[in-house]
Amino acid sequence: MEQYIIKGGNPLVGEVEIGGAKNAALAIIAASIMTDETVTIDNLPYVRDINVLLNAIEGIGGKVDRINRHKVNITGAGIGNFCIDYDYIKKIRASYYIIGAMLGKYKKARVPLPGGCNIGTRPIDQHIKGFKALGADVEIEHGMIVATSERLVGSHIYMDVVSVGATINIMMAASMAEGNTVIENAAKEPHVVDTANFLNSMGANIKGAGTDVIKIKGVSKLHKTDYSIIPDQIEAGTFMFAAAATKGDVTVKNVIPKHLEATTAKLLEMGCEVEEFDDSVRVVASKKLKHTQVKTLPYPGFPTDMQPQVAVVLGLAEGTSIVTESIFENRFKYVDELTRMGADIKVEGNTAIINGVSKYTGAGVSAPDLRAGAALVIAGLAAEEITTVDDIVYIQRGYEDFEKKLQSLGALIECVNSEKEMQKFKLSLMVS
Ligand SMILES: CC(=O)N[C@H]1[C@@H](OP(=O)(O)OP(=O)(O)OC[C@H]2O[C@@H](n3ccc(=O)[nH]c3=O)[C@H](O)[C@@H]2O)O[C@H](CO)[C@@H](O)[C@@H]1O
Ligand SMILES: C=C(OP(=O)(O)O)C(=O)O
């Protein structure tokens, strides 16, 4: 089993290039099967979740040609099997996008209930409500979501909760429904906008993505396109918080600064300097970190996918900070691990009360999920002595070359596969 071994204490300094957004790419890959023509997608992150979804698409008869690590051609013409295999899908959340894509194009889909990070109960009632409003029959049978419809007809759909997945899924199906659909109380995340832009580039007619009312005129056919995914705001934010935690000076490149505003605001409140350029952001953390309050909210609020990372930084800030998680009920699983590194955090319901400590001390910890895992790596980078992070398979779901990018910023981190490799790394640290 691979694990990270980290010798903390080095400020991160330098420049790091951010890849394409995992959560946009997953939706866009699924949407690419809505045409028989070949779709080219560029700026894909080379991460586990993307590879799992591409394999699943091959599994149902789609053709996937990797041009390089970040670029792929997908041809949906051969799809003849409308049932996705459970083995693929249990590993990822975004498998649910195949339902919207297949229902739109083929008017039928049979997909196992999705997996993904265990950060809460994660119901999909709003997806189902939307599909039903478009005229589909949706049943859960033996762990499968079975959606069928003679014809899909546009509808007026009010979302009871702001859901990224349900907004995108309904938008995909409605793109190929007859007539007009309005989605009210829609999610406004950058990946919702990116997926709408992608579908429009295939001939869909979607307006209003990025606001809370999305209007879709259904079309009967979609066509080929050549599309580049937006940069990953969560990967970018993770490096920004890593800079803050290690008292570093890091420029994150290939980003859309507007997408990072919530992160930037919190870093400024903590006393970091943040400089914005056209497509990069520089974070300098030279002063003592100050406490602040964070509440996760749908975009443009502070992203839940960045909550563990900000909490790790606040754990090192002067005074008492409050972090409130309002999206998922089980996203503080990293707190016990961080406590082992010396953090002083008390969780009460959906709130973490963080009393800043002057330092973390290295320890053996396990990544409980993707972002919590990344946050524990940040803690290890800031900590005294050696930290090992187990279960990094979670981190590999969403971060490409995480350790290499950190090494390029001066971090002492290695991905090791055995006790022997770990001892070798420890020895190299003693020699250097
Ligand atoms: C693959 C992907 O893009 N994952 C992201 C997506 O997850 P995901 O799309 O699963 O998250 P949602 O935006 O749907 O969830 C938001 C909230 O709505 C609730 N809900 C959602 C759907 C539904 O049918 N019923 C319902 O009650 C959820 O339990 C949660 O409390 O958005 C989350 C919120 O930004 C991110 O943390 C995830 O990284
Ligand atoms: C929670 C995440 O992913 P998923 O929804 O795929 O579990 C994430 O990207 O932080």
Q: Which of 228, 257, 284 is the last residue of a domain?
A: 228
Point out the domain boundary residue: 213, 228, 243. 228
22 is in an annotated binding site: yes
Q: What is the pLDDT of residues 125-165, one digit of tens each?
A: 999 999 999 999 999 988 889 999 999 999 999 999 999 99
* The ligand 2 atom nearest the CA atom of 117: 7
217-255 residue pLDDT tens? 999 999 999 999 999 999 999 999 999 999 999 999 999
The residues carrying an active-site annotation are 117
Residue 321 shares a structural domain with residue 333: yes
Report which bound ligand comes closest to the CA of 398.
Answer: 2
> In sequence order, what DSSP letters do the residues of 229-256 get, joined into one string?
PPB-HHHHHHHHHHHHHTT-EEEEES--
Cα-to-centroid distance, 299 and ligand 1 (Å): 12
Q: Before 300, cis peptide (omega within 30)?
A: yes
Choose the final residue of a domain: 202, 228, 254: 228
Residue pointed to by tokens 């959906």: 350
Taking the centre of ligand 2 as the mean of its atom positions, its distance from the CA of residue 117, in whole angstroms, is 6
Q: Residues of 144-164 as b/e, b for ≥16 C-beta within 10 angstroms?
A: bbbbbbeebbbbebebeebbb
In degrees and rounded to multiples of 5, residue 34 shows phi and psi of -85, 5
Residues 14, 84: one domain?
no
pLDDT tens column, 41-96: 999 999 999 999 999 999 899 999 999 999 999 999 989 877 777 776 777 888 89
400 and 305 belong to one structural domain:
yes
The confidence score (pLDDT) of residue 9 equals 95
Q: Are residues 134 and 271 in the same domain?
A: no
Count of domains in the chain? 2
- Ligand 1: which residues within 6 Å by Cβ? 23, 26, 93-94, 120, 122-127, 161, 163-166, 187, 304-305, 327-328
pLDDT digits (tens, 9 = 90+) for 86-134: 776 777 888 899 999 999 999 999 888 877 778 888 899 999 999 999 9
> CATH number of the domain that 369 lies in?
3.65.10.10
Q: Same domain, yes or no, for 79 and 8? A: no
Backbone angles phi, psi at 387, to 5 degrees: -120, 140
pTM greater than 0.95 (yes/no): yes
**Complex prediction ipTM:** 0.99
**Same domain for 261 and 207:** no
Domain span at 239:
3-19+231-431
Scanning the structure block, which residue is given the tokens 């490799």? 421
Taking the C-alpha atoms of residue 1 and residue 170, their distance in angstroms, rounded to an integer, is 39
